[in-house]
């Protein structure tokens, strides 16, 4: 379905009944990333709300990069909870979705039952993870350059993007969406607003801790993120913290290891519901 939130049209899949779980995808995905989790969560008695973020999938794509400020993304997520009359929800995010889910929990902890971060930990942990993490994040700087990044990614029928997405289970689907120049640029906007170049050089300042029960999940085949960037998140959580590692799995764990992710989610969410 399509809903209007904060003047932006968002495509949203809303299904199931029970405690609400807000599923937040990252780059370069859509709500379809969560299809295996949606099925398992609905079957277990949870309601799932899975949007396409602004700039992705069938949601609106503002032309001005300022339309992708992280605070606006957080406003969209809270606006979705308001629209669907959800007082409190479990937040589950992957990649950029994990970062946005964290910011949402920081901004409105009373609306969050629990937080699950897949792949991406707290910004403070990312910033202190050392040279290895900076090396893995090389593309953050490339993506800052309008037109140059787009040309690099799309050159030779998206050869560079295919190489960058080498562990993605569905690269052709991603590239088919990115053949639309507006979609390609809109997807990169979250990097351009969310990670200015100075953040690559120093630890982020004044980012609050995560105040809700949190689980972090990292996979050993992740070519973009170090384990330290996730395990260090423990220092930035003031509620309960749980860490899980999936061995032999790449970055896109909801698609690559759906059963393992589903089992972790159902166990963690049920424990949070009992608190």
200, pLDDT greater than 70 = no
Its domain, for residue 62, covers 2-130+206-273
pTM of the model: 0.96
What's 115's domain CATH number? 3.40.50.1820
Q: Is residue 116 part of a domain?
A: yes
In a domain, 197, yes or no: no
Q: Give domain status of residue 29, yes or no.
A: yes
Per-residue pLDDT band for 179 (boundaries 50, 70, 90) equals very high
Instruction: Tell me if 11 sits within 8 A of 58, measured CB to CB.
Output: yes
Average pLDDT of the chain? 95
Using CA atoms, how far apart are residues 81 and 88, in angstroms rounded to an integer?
8
Residue (of 98, 149, 125, 79) closest to 228 by Cα position: 125
Q: For the chain, what percent of residues have pLDDT higher than 70?
A: 96
Q: Report how many domains make up the chain.
A: 1
Residue 224 lies in a domain: yes
Average pLDDT (267-275) is 85
Q: The tokens 């995808």 sit on which residue?
A: 25
78 is a domain residue:
yes
Q: Which two tokens stand for residue 243?
A: 């860490």
- The Cα 25–Cα 151 span in angstroms is 25
Nearest-CA neighbor of 54 among 24, 34, 81? 24
- The reply to whether 146 falls in a domain is no
Task: Give pLDDT tens digits for 19-55.
Answer: 999 999 999 999 999 999 999 999 999 999 999 999 9
109 belongs to a structural domain: yes
């Amino acid at each position: 379905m399509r809903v209007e939130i904060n003047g932006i049209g968002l495509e949203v899949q809303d299904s199931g009944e029970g405690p609400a779980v807000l599923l937040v995808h990252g780059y370069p995905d859509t709500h379809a990333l969560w299809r295996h989790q949606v099925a398992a969560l609905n079957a277990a008695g949870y309601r799932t709300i899975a949007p396409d973020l602004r700039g992705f999938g069938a949601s609106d794509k503002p032309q001005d990069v300022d339309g992708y400020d992280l605070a606006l993304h957080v406003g969209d997520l809270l606006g979705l909870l308001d629209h669907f009359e959800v007082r409190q929800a479990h937040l589950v995010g992957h990649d950029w979705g994990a970062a946005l889910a964290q910011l949402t929990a920081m901004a409105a902890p009373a609306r969050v039952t629990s937080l699950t971060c897949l792949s991406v930990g707290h910004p403070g942990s990312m910033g202190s993870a050392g040279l290895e993490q900076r090396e893995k994040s090389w593309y953050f700087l490339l993506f800052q350059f309008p037109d140059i990044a787009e040309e690099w990614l799309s050159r030779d029928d998206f050869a560079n993007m295919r190489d960058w997405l080498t562990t993605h289970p569905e690269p052709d689907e991603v590239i088919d969406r990115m053949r639309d120049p507006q979609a390609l640029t809109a997807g990169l906007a979250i990097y351009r607003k969310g990670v200015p170049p100075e953040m690559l050089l120093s630890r982020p300042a004044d980012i609050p801790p995560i105040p809700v029960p949190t689980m972090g999940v990292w996979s050993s085949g992740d070519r973009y993120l170090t384990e330290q960037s996730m395990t260090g998140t423990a220092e930035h959580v003031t509620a309960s913290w749980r860490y899980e590692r999936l061995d032999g799995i790449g970055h896109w764990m909801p698609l690559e290891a759906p059963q393992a992710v589903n089992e972790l989610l159902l166990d963690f969410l049920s424990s949070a519901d009992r608190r």
